[in-house]
Amino acid sequence: MVRYFAAALVAIAIVVGTGYLVRDHLFAATPSRPPAIAVVVTTAVDAAVPERQTSVVVDLDGRVEKRAGTTWLPVAIGDELSPQDSIRTGEDAHAHIKTGAQLVELGDRSEVTVGEISATVSQFLLSEGRVTANTGPTRGHTIRIETRGTVAETDAGTFAVASAGDVAVAAERGNVTVTAQHESIQVHAGEQTIVATGAAPSAPTRIPASLFLKVSAGGRDAIALLHGETEPGAIVSINGVRSLANAKGGFDSNVALTAGDNVIVVSVQDATGRSKQQVIKRNLDRTKPAIKTEVDWK
């Protein structure tokens, strides 16, 4: 009896021990994992890049053209101009080019080429004619006009440049720096300077209150000898042929006449855009008999 009871206790112990082994195997605690680390990926932001500056034709009147290779094509309002692009105006035409807040106006019979256009400088090369440059209300952006070895620039103001052989620069607002032959001067509002070919800028003088023109015609036979006086640095046009009045406002020209009635149109325009005109009429009569001269050799 005692033997059977002992055997029963051993059997119970085996069953209980087996249960604990099964529990530990099936329900053992899962090892703890380290907490997930949130990884934030950042992208480096490039330094601010200045907005690309473009020049745009915002207004025009008359014949305005843009060079395309060796030809000239009509320009329309809204056309963009890139560096090295050239634009020109015809007789009695004009155009306005805007670069940011800056504005460049081309007078008639004028041609410019776009140069450097950046966040700090707008540069235009004037081949001939007249332009007015306006920086707008803000400072810090230089507008520069180059022509025939002369450079005129400002970062706050309005100035005009006339180029027809010699160069005239007139400041309308603010101060303008004019450089030629490695010499620079300051031209203040209401003043102008004349730059003769191969010379340094002249001392600034006040812009006259009004533009005047006086022309006299002399000569005989088939040549009319013209002498005129106007504002220094004014563009002088004689039957379409342009030149610039000298530093004293004088100009001279020899005009060939044809048989019959001749009309000579003399017009002047100063750097600020004021203009005047005078018409001279001459008649060349080739039907008159030549004057005979007899020499008495006695």
Which tens digits make up the pLDDT trace of 148-176?
999 999 999 999 999 998 999 999 999 99
Helices (H), the chain: 2-26
**pLDDT > 70? residue 188:** yes
Of the CATH numbers 1.10.287.3510, 2.60.40.10, 3.40.50.10490, 3.90.10.10, which one belongs to the domain with range 213-284?
A: 2.60.40.10
Smallest CA-to-CA distance from 142 within 203, 184, 101, 86 is with: 101
SS3 13: helix
Q: Taking residues 65-80, report their average pLDDT.
A: 95
Contact 244, 231 (CB under 8 A): no
Which residues are CB-contacts of 162 (< 8 A; sequence separation ≥ 6)? 129, 130, 168, 170, 233, 234, 235, 244, 269, 270, 271
CATH T-level fold of 55-206: Jelly Rolls (2.60.120)
Amino acid identity at 266: V
Name the DSSP class of 290.
P
Q: Compute the distance between CA of residue 273 and CA of residue 44 in angstroms, rounded to an integer.
A: 53
- The DSSP letter of residue 179 is E
Considering the chain, what is the average pLDDT of its residues?
84
Which pLDDT does position 292 carry in this prediction? 44
Question: What does the domain layout of the chain look like in residue ranges?
Answer: 55-206, 213-284
Mean pLDDT computed over 231-253: 94
Per-position b or e across 16-50, b if 16+ CB within 10 A of its CB: eeeeeeeeeeeeeeeeeeeeeeeeeeeeeeeeeee
- Pick the closest to residue 255 from 298, 293, 226 (CA basis): 226
**Range 45-68 average pLDDT:** 78
Location of structure tokens 């094509």? 73
Conformational region of residue 78, where left means phi above 0, alpha means psi within -120 to 50, and beta covers everything else: left
Residue 58, both tokens: 């915002």
**253 has a pLDDT exceeding 70:** yes
